[in-house]
Structure 1
Amino acid sequence: MQIESINTTPMGLYLEDFEVGMTFFSGTYPPLTATQIVEFASEFDPQPFHLDPIAARDTFFEGLAASGWHTAAISMRLLVQSVPVQGGLIGAGSELAWPLAVRPGDVLRLVVTVQNVRGSLSKPDRGYVVVQMETLNQNDEVVQRGKARMLAFKKPTA
């Protein structure tokens, strides 16, 4: 089952609404600018390849590259906008990898696929949804890959 930007679900999804294989597609994040990359890095990841386009030429990245944490922050925004979990997205662990640098001008989007859904063994009102996330640029290249475990509540019983 594929779902594109299901923000039309006003109340959000409960644990029972998720199925293995469900895929969510976000909209796009506007083109990232060099100024945004530098501003984020100045506060959170002050390294030459994130701060100075000229100095960045002589680094591993061979040019200005967004911090992986900047990419993760954008991906989180796209996740919240495209996977409406009832009660909000509450993380219960994740893994992230950045196979390709994000550059000025990149337009990012997110594809999220449900891998596992299970109820909690100790708390009967909730469970966990495990998702695979891929953040792609405008060329459909994966710039971030992640796996996250999210808390989801069961539908209230009457």
Structure 2
Amino acid sequence: MNPLWLDDLAVGDRFRTDEYEITQEEILAFAGRYDPQPFHLDEEAAAGSFFQGLAASGWHTAAVTMRLIVTSGLPIATGIIGAGVELSWPSPTRPGDVVHAEITVTEITPSRSKPDRGFVTIGYETVTRTGEIRQRTTATLLMFTRPSRPSPSDAPRS
């Protein structure tokens, strides 16, 4: 994919990432390291919990989603620079879920004081193959305009 600059985007643009399978081994490893709660670590404890079964940490789902967006969804030329985010997890991510992200540009606000940049608001959902939404996100990103190329008249003269 070609790298995108602020000038390349328009409100309503849509992007879709590749898919990614969330394995039980990944769920256990992530939870063991970053979110060691019983419903993320132990099938028996999880069965008796609110989740009624082993569930990935929401932060694991967010991390997988970020990877998908960076590697196959939104190729921002200068990298994804977050300025704010709201997210929710309407349903638990389960072992064996195959997910992708669907991204929509919802707002573009050029900077008034710095014309080389602006803010882009995107909405995206992390969705399973069966259409279940695992994560819903609104993010504001800092983006830069395409650098201007010097024209031949700008070249130094000898």
What TM-score results when the alignment is normalised by the length of structure 1?
0.91
Match of 2:79 among 60, 70, 88: 88
Matched residue type, 2:118 = G
| Greater shift in the superposed pair: 100-109 or 121-130 | 121-130
Deviation at 1:122, TM superposition (A): 2.3
Match of 2:47 among 54, 57, 60: 57
Distance 1:73 1:65 in 2: 15
Q: Deviations over 1:80-127 (max 9, x none)?
A: 121011111111100000000000010010000000112112222100
Residue 131 of structure 1 pairs with residue 130 of structure 2: no
Distance 1:121 1:70 in 2: 36
Q: CA RMSD in A?
A: 0.8
Match of 2:65 among 63, 71, 75: 75
Moved over 6 A (4+): none
Equivalent residue number for residue 28 of structure 1: 19
Equivalent residue number for residue 142 of structure 1: 133
Distance 1:73 1:123 in 2: 31
Matched residue type, 2:41 = L
Deviation at 1:156, TM superposition (A): 1.4
What TM-score results when the alignment is normalised by the length of structure 2?
0.91
Match of 1:37 among 14, 23, 27: 27
Distance 2:68 2:24 in 1: 20
| Percent identical residues | 49
The unaligned stretches of length 5 or more in structure 1 are 1-7
Match of 1:122 among 103, 109, 113: 113
How many aligned residue pairs are there? 148
Equivalent residue number for residue 5 of structure 2: 14
Match of 1:156 among 147, 153, 157: 147
Secondary structure of the residue that 2:18 maps to in structure 1? strand
Equivalent residue number for residue 47 of structure 1: 37
Matched residue type, 2:37 = Q
The unaligned stretches of length 5 or more in structure 2 are 151-158
